[in-house]
Structure 1
Amino acid sequence: MGSVEINPEEALQIEVGMSSAMITMLESVGLNLDEAWLVSLEQKLEETNWEPWRTDHASIFRVPHHIRDDDAKLYDPKVVSLGPYHRDVDRLLPMNRLKWHSLKKFLSRSTGYALVDYLRLIKVSERRARSAYADDLASIDSNDFVQMMLLDGCFVVETILLWKIGASGLEAVQNPIASSSWILPMVARDMLMLENQLPFFLLQHLFELTFPRHQLDYAKCAVEFFAACTEMDLELPSDGAVKGGFCHLLHLFHSCITPRKDAAEAKSRTKCFSRANKSQTTRVKSIPNATRLSEAGVKFQRKRTRNVLDITFHNGKMEIPQLAVNGHFNTLFRNLIAFEQGYKCASLHVITSYASLMDCIIDTPEDVTLLQKGDIIVSGLGDNQNVALLFNKLCSGVSIDDGDGDLASVFEEANRHYNRKWNQFLAILRRDYFGNPWAAIALMAAILLFVLTSTQTVFSVLAYVRPPGNQPN
């Protein structure tokens, strides 16, 4: 018998008919549903709506468990809580007293506004501030939320001003941030925690009311503060639209290290490389480590630039800006990566792509040593094994897409260079022969023996073809 073909429309009609028949059959056997249960489900559906007041993407959120569980301590503040997520942690409560001192000093700077004016300012912006947080903060009533924003915001502003202007009198003695050398870097570290952020617009408003004539620029002061505390060369974006669009301090920091120079050219090059390799692969996820690339003739050189992410590859040379790997590096980059993972508007996952590239390059302690010789990595962690492990875990639990990022061309060019047959042949020679002095000696002896044998063979053939007695006169 021949098979009967059924077109899609007929198949759909049959499926609908079968579903109707099934419902009719169930009703015929007397299967009744609990009316109260059915009403409760319908009511739940009726109440399920998106929150109409939240019209922008939340930019402050908890680090997802699949990222946090790898090393939770990298995402938890150590000294001070800012915002709602860690406000009740016992070990952070002692700093709350200092927040009141910061508020009092902040109010003393303002000649035209009193406490009530600042409370009203935050009250007016409360909905916008709440919408910056991904979590439902309904458990925090309006007055508590406004008080928290004012206390925490004044603490952040005053901490930066304390670093810039200094302290005097009793404050210089009793304020732990001013009197202890270790607390300020820890506070700066906590101020760059994703879960410890405050809406940037509130900080900006507080600062501008205190300095109405723009004697100081808050964003610029914050960048200088973090540059000093992290030992990184930061540059505030010059674009006014970007400058006014920071979500929080972590976003400001992210914007300062995101590549901006020649961005159009880099994007064009990336698209060109992607089109050229589209038939082979749409995503380049990996490249060999620094040792293997070096064996294939790649030269690693320090790039003189202020942008730590500005890595380039050209004519077999990979240029990488110098990176100081200290005690705060891991925490900072993990939080930047978590921010990129959760905030859709973060620019193209540039930190994640950078971490992915460095994870590929740095696989073993030998790779770290190679980059240290090139003055690319300056480590404060001691053992190179620890440095390699740090980079190997940067992207743990993270979604990575290197195909369209600013570093896509680096992945593609490095792989293209490594996969050339001549470069692979050089890599084999360096790894299997020239890496061991005895193997190198044996190889040279074999080459010499081959040359001598070949020479002897040539002379023997010549002697056979033209014997000595047949030489011309």
Structure 2
Amino acid sequence: MSNKSFTSFNAVLEPFICLDMPWTINHEAMKSSEEAAHLLDLYWRCSLSPKMSKKLSELERDLCEREKYGFEQEQPTLAEIHLSSNAPNNAPKVIANATELNKMVGIEFEKFKDKGHFIVTFSKPKGIIGMPRLKIDTRQKNLLINLIAFENCILPCMRIFSCYVKLMDALIDSENDVMFLQQCGVIYNTLIEKSHEEAATFFNDIGNFCFIDYNTNHFSGLYKDVQEYYCSSRRRRWASFQQKYFSNPWARISLFAAGFLLILSVAQTFYAIYGYHKPMK
């Protein structure tokens, strides 16, 4: 099949692949995905960021060169060199769930204004985890299951969806976490009966089938930064103060009134002492 045929075929598929996609489609990958083995492979390739697409192309060229020149099996591949050159990082494999992160240290979750490419960020100074909004319905559930199954057959360093679902599994332990993340706007749950409980169970179950090499986990830096933030005693005290005095309007009013009375008392004491030492003539 010619390049022109591939281009026209992909152009027909593009609107369906983009349907309800929470991240930006990689249009360059869509135009040049002649190597896609099937529709699921095409969807996966078009979900990669340009950086990941370039990395995938390098790995595929390396494999083609090995097959073309008949290199011995003992000779390391580019992927093996990449894995061996990455010293094991000390990023934790698990973090606290979303509600606990918010309650204990005040970490907030924020939906990206634009879809952007498939990525999750953590702003350490602000304590904000940013991610694309994920719509949870039957279609998205089936799609994620298939993508996880597909990634279990490829190199660990390319398993971007598996890393994402494993992160969501860590953030979601119960329906309370789903409810909280939906309030933050990073999850849009459209399941009907017992929706939050069903969504939590889905991520907990599918997370068990995500086989991750944590030395090449795409979110290992995020795990490490969030864990350091979570273990900070200073941030825990500040979060506890906020929970106690800013959790509801009455608490804020009480704090404001107490502060106002304190200022008046200090002012009264100051003028009393000042008047004693420097009486008016």
Deviations 1:30-77 (A, max 9, x none): xxxxxxxxxxxxxxxxxxxxxxxxxxxxxxxxxxxxxxxxxxxxxxxx
Aligned alpha-carbon RMSD (Å): 4.2
Correspondences of 1:21-420 after superposition (within 5 Å): 208=1, 214-215=4-5, 217=7, 220-221=10-11, 223-224=13-14, 226-227=16-17, 231-232=20-21, 234-235=25-26, 237-238=28-29, 243-261=33-51, 282-294=90-102, 296=106, 298=108, 300-307=110-117, 309-314=118-123, 315-316=125-126, 317-341=128-152, 343-345=153-155, 347-382=157-192, 383-420=195-232
Structure 1 counterpart SS, 2:129: strand
On the 8 A contact 1:285/1:403 being kept in 2, the answer is no
On the 8 A contact 2:175/2:200 being kept in 1, the answer is yes
The normalised TM-score by structure 1 is 0.41
Structure 2 counterpart SS, 1:318: strand
On the 8 A contact 2:172/2:178 being kept in 1, the answer is yes
Deviations 1:273-322 (A, max 9, x none): x98xx7xx623223344344445253513241353x22222343332122
On the 8 A contact 2:91/2:221 being kept in 1, the answer is no
Structure 1 counterpart of 2:122, which letter? Answer: F
Distance in 2 (alpha carbons) for counterparts of 1:236 and 1:469: 79
Distance in 2 (alpha carbons) for counterparts of 1:262 and 1:335: 20
Aligned length, in residue pairs: 243
On the 8 A contact 1:284/1:412 being kept in 2, the answer is yes
Deviations 1:150-182 (A, max 9, x none): xxxxxxxxxxxxxxxxxxxxxxxxxxxxxxxxx
Q: Structure with the greater relative contact order (CA < 8 A, sep ≥ 6): 1 or 2?
A: 2
- Of residues 213, 228, 241, the one that matches 1:429 is 241
On the 8 A contact 2:110/2:185 being kept in 1, the answer is no
The normalised TM-score by structure 2 is 0.65
On the 8 A contact 2:111/2:130 being kept in 1, the answer is yes
Structure 2 counterpart of 1:320, which letter? Answer: M
Structure 2 counterpart SS, 1:300: strand
Distance in 2 (alpha carbons) for counterparts of 1:298 and 1:455: 38
Return the index of the structure with the highest Cα Rg: 1
Residue 427 of structure 1 deviates from its aligned partner by 1.8
Pair 1:346–1:262, CA change in 2 (3 A): closer
Deviations 1:105-144 (A, max 9, x none): xxxxxxxxxxxxxxxxxxxxxxxxxxxxxxxxxxxxxxxx
Pair 1:391–1:444, CA change in 2 (3 A): farther
Structure 2 counterpart of 1:413, which letter? Answer: D
Residue 222 of structure 1 deviates from its aligned partner by 7.0
Distance in 2 (alpha carbons) for counterparts of 1:299 and 1:231: 21
Pair 1:214–1:264, CA change in 2 (3 A): closer
Distance in 2 (alpha carbons) for counterparts of 1:410 and 1:236: 27
Distance in 2 (alpha carbons) for counterparts of 1:414 and 1:376: 17
Distance in 2 (alpha carbons) for counterparts of 1:469 and 1:319: 58
Residue 353 of structure 1 deviates from its aligned partner by 0.8
Structure 2 counterpart of 1:290, which letter? Answer: A
On the 8 A contact 1:284/1:403 being kept in 2, the answer is no
Distance in 2 (alpha carbons) for counterparts of 1:306 and 1:224: 17
Distance in 2 (alpha carbons) for counterparts of 1:414 and 1:303: 22
Residue 389 of structure 1 deviates from its aligned partner by 3.0
Name structure 1 gaps, 5 residues minimum: 1-207, 266-273
On the 8 A contact 1:365/1:388 being kept in 2, the answer is yes
Residue 243 of structure 1 deviates from its aligned partner by 2.7
Distance in 1 (alpha carbons) for counterparts of 2:184 and 2:135: 13
Residue 323 of structure 1 deviates from its aligned partner by 1.9
Structure 2 counterpart of 1:329, which letter? Answer: Q
